[in-house]
Amino acid sequence: MKFFVSCAKGLEYLLADELVALGASRATAASAGANAEGSLADAQRAVLWSRLASRVLWPLASFDCPDEQALYDGAAAVPWTEHLAEGHTLAVDAHVSGDAITHARFAAQRVKDAVVDVFRAEGLERPSVDVDAPDLRLNLSLRKGRATLSVDLGGGALHRRGWRSSQHEAPLKENLAAAVLLRGGWPKMYAEGGALLDPMCGSGTLLVEGALMAADVAPGLGRMQAALETAAGGEPELADDPWAVARGKLAPPFTDEASPPSRWRGFDLAGWNALVAEARERAQAGLAALRPVFHGSDLDPRAIEAARDNAMRAGVAAAIELQVRDIDALPPQAAGRGLVVCNPPYDRRLAADAALYRRIGQALQRAVPQWRASLLCGDAELAHATGLRAAKKYQLFNGALECALVVCDPVQVPQRDSAPRELSEGARMVANRIQRNLRKLKNWRSGEGVTCFRAYDADIPEYAAAIDVYAEDGGEQRTFLHVQEYAPPKEIPEADVRRRRGELLSAARASFDVPAERVALKTRERGKGGSKYGRFDQHGERFVVRENGARLWVNLFEYLDTGLFLDHRPLRRRMAKEAKGRRFLNLFCYTGVASVQAAVAGAAQTTSVDLSGTYLQWCADNLALNGLGGTSHRLVQGDALTWLEADRGWYDVIFCDPPTFSNSARADDFDVQREHVRLLRAAMARLAQGGVLYFSNNFRRFRLDTEAVAQFAECEEISASTIPPDFERNARIHRAWRLTHA
């Protein structure tokens, strides 16, 4: 079964990995959440254990919804008496987009009306509305004329852990705090004996969340405890035993009589109680063994008092040391390793101050030079103001506020970087252009989750090179640069070529704060028909990136190309959507990226054909990286045209992206201009009725034989729609056509 788990923007990939770790058979990042596959037990486990989720939504119905009447009719068609008991309460949360229905509250009201009318029609007591603590909380998503009604299994926002009674200004949500800790590698750091420090702790969110994470306490336990206390009639009296709340001594044990997070009739109460019993045992053991390695300070005494109160309610006060102290007075910490976490002020209520960020950086370099730091800053400029060197950077959203999360390891800035050399005039010119391009692409990259992109493409003719950015997914989260220098005209002196190359590389490294060892430099000389593939120095350096919901291996150092053609990103996304539930064929598949993305999107079958065994193994590795394999995803080594003419299979979506030329010793010479009609005819012979063939190539002088192709296919050029914004300067990087049966 497929279900949806929402989260704050920027946490999607972390959440997808967490859901798989919690038992989901598959999870892929989506906008502000993750699409998961698994059982109801997996979804309920996420309610109890996810540290990153906002809500877990189990779908009940999905239907076309062009207008208000269709919304009411679709909701009224659901057998609500099977989901909600007579006399129970109801709440509906609605999220709408599009022109048909524009008011979320109105949409929620119409769903509520439909539910009530179903009960009345059966002569039953109608459910009443309780927006704060309903027995059944429904979620309506109305997007692009399609409505989905789901049960909110957690009964409300999951970031509420149940321990917060006091808060300082601009409190950080607990699930965002968890992301700061996870990006900083806190679970592993604690397991290795490390400590946690927050020198501007506010009400203690990061410290409390870090302690509960280290103690293996399920986030849902505190939520349930708070619900029990509220049902019992108010605030509990804090006990002397610091673990009292977690051990359940301040409220009755969780039994079958205890309220589950939802009274939905489909909720597996027995399974939930088993999960809770296991979580309580783990929490008791973890809290008993929790080491007092948590240290927090803040200049405001009221903030420290709030942090103490919250730590006591969470049951971790004995493990956390709290002091009133200015950041400038932070003393050197004990020897060993640890993690510094911090959420300095940056929003409109707490005006961001670059000078404060500089003081933070200076204090951390004095006190914990060899520690790791995970800092949630207002933006990249404020993060830069710390003076620290970020090994990893992430974009997160704290509510509507866009933030920059930087991870520095270690905190200490290498001496050689403390006084960076000033860029030359030429390098500054290139760096300014790169920064302008980044600003231009920022909203697009953020909206589509693009982490691998072209940042510069010979924008300044004297500096003729393409600079591509590859952000690592998972692991160390490093940023790499792939710099392809175009061959200069022969009349340019070699000294000028070397100088411009050095200035270009200096500008690129300064713009992205990337060390030299993570910059792959290649010179691309044009031969007949375009670039030729070649091998480069053996670095043994491959790493994982993410595109269109798929994880992919890339190698920037050993080959001319990296394993991922960035300019085909929109076309791959388009094909993946069309391939859902269908048969996908990828000819000249290279590393199989299009096949993998189609499979991740739900293609019933994929077939990938290439002459190179190296590329097919790369494709196999990409499939395995996404948990894909078996007979549904076939790899074929052979000459694509010869294989295609002998094949008798049928395919619904075919991708054909041949090279310009090929003179492999294992196959006949191939020339795309000469062979394209034969190739397309053979491909169309294998295209099922109602199917689509996408044909693309990057031969600049290619001319499609439209008259010959028209004899067996309807053909439409779609090149403009397949060029992404980062390749607008090089709009003829490739051409593409869409072919269907005549």
Q: 174-215+290-416 with 565-740: one CATH topology?
A: yes
Q: What CATH fold (topology level) applies to the domain 421-524?
A: Transcription Regulator spoIIAA (3.30.750)
Q: What is the pLDDT of residue 393?
A: 85
% pLDDT > 70, the chain = 89
Residue 231 pLDDT greater than 50, yes or no: no
Q: What is the pLDDT of residue 534?
A: 37
Asked which of 182-196, 297-311, 410-424, 463-477 is least confident by mean pLDDT, the reply is: 410-424
- The angle at the Cα of 441, spanning 438 to 444, to the nearest 5 degrees, equals 145
Give the span between the Cα atoms of 353 and 582, in whole angstroms. 54
Give the span between the Cα atoms of 107 and 110, in whole angstroms. 5
Give the span between the Cα atoms of 55 and 157, in whole angstroms. 6
Average pLDDT over every residue of 440-464: 94
Residue 233 pLDDT greater than 50, yes or no: no
How many C-beta neighbours within 10 Å does residue 620 have?
Answer: 17
389 sits in which H/E element: none
Q: Are 277 and 132 in contact (CB under 8 A)?
A: no
Convert the pLDDT of each residue in 503-554 to its tens digit: 999 999 999 988 888 899 987 544 433 444 333 444 457 899 999 999 999 9
Residue 252 pLDDT greater than 80, yes or no: no
b (16+ CB within 10 A) / e for 580-615: eebbbbbbbbbbbbbbbbbbbbbbebbbbbbbbeeb
Residue 135 pLDDT greater than 90, yes or no: yes
Q: What is the pLDDT of residue 352?
A: 59
Residue 388 pLDDT greater than 60, yes or no: yes
What letter represents residue 341's amino acid? V
Report the DSSP pairing between strands 89-96 and 128-129: parallel
Convert the pLDDT of each residue in 35-90 to its tens digit: 999 999 999 999 999 999 999 999 999 999 999 999 999 999 999 999 999 989 99
Convert the pLDDT of each residue in 413-426 to its tens digit: 766 544 456 889 99
Residue 230 pLDDT greater than 70, yes or no: no
Label residue 170 by pLDDT band (50, 70, 90): low
Convert the pLDDT of each residue in 369-387 to its tens digit: 999 999 999 877 788 888 8
Average pLDDT over every residue of 607-611: 96
Average pLDDT over the chain reads 88
Residue 228 pLDDT greater than 70, yes or no: no
Average pLDDT over every residue of 715-732: 93
Q: What is the pLDDT of residue 355?
A: 82
Average pLDDT over every residue of 226-237: 45
Residue 577 pLDDT greater than 90, yes or no: yes
Helix axes 569-578, 593-600, angle to 10 degrees: 40
Q: What is the 3-state secondary structure (H, E, C) of 184-200?
A: CCHHHHHHCCCEEEECC
Radius of gyration of the chain (CA): 29
Q: Are 715 and 704 in contact (CB under 8 A)?
A: yes
Q: What is the pLDDT of residue 529?
A: 39
Average pLDDT over every residue of 553-575: 93
Average pLDDT over every residue of 626-655: 94
Average pLDDT over every residue of 317-336: 91
Label residue 731 by pLDDT band (50, 70, 90): confident
Domain ranges of the chain: 2-152, 174-215+290-416, 421-524, 565-740
Q: Are 298 and 304 in contact (CB under 8 A)?
A: yes
b (16+ CB within 10 A) / e for 375-414: bbbbebebbbbbebbbbbbbbbbbeeebbbbbbbbbbbbe
Pairwise pLDDT comparison (171 vs 6), residue with the higher score: 6
Pairwise pLDDT comparison (528 vs 307), residue with the higher score: 307
% pLDDT > 90, the chain = 72
Nearest to 342 by CA among 296, 294, 409: 296
CATH entry 3.40.1380.20 includes domain 2-152: no
Give the span between the Cα atoms of 538 and 536, in whole angstroms. 6
Give the span between the Cα atoms of 463 and 455, in whole angstroms. 14
Encoded tokens for 70? 């269709």
Convert the pLDDT of each residue in 335-358 to its tens digit: 688 999 999 987 544 445 778 888
Q: What is the CATH number of domain 565-740?
A: 3.40.50.150
Q: What is the pLDDT of residue 229?
A: 47
Kindly state the DSSP code that residue 10 receives in the 8-state scheme: T
Identify each DSSP E strand in 430-572 by its residue range: 452-457, 465-471, 479-486, 519-524, 543-547, 550-554
What letter represents residue 684's amino acid? M
Q: What is the pLDDT of residue 342?
A: 95
Give the span between the Cα atoms of 143 and 136, in whole angstroms. 23
Average pLDDT over every residue of 201-214: 96
Beta bridge pairs of residue 90: 129, 136
Nearest to 371 by CA among 414, 340, 332: 340
Q: What is the CATH number of domain 174-215+290-416?
A: 3.40.50.150
Encoded tokens for 704? 């499609």
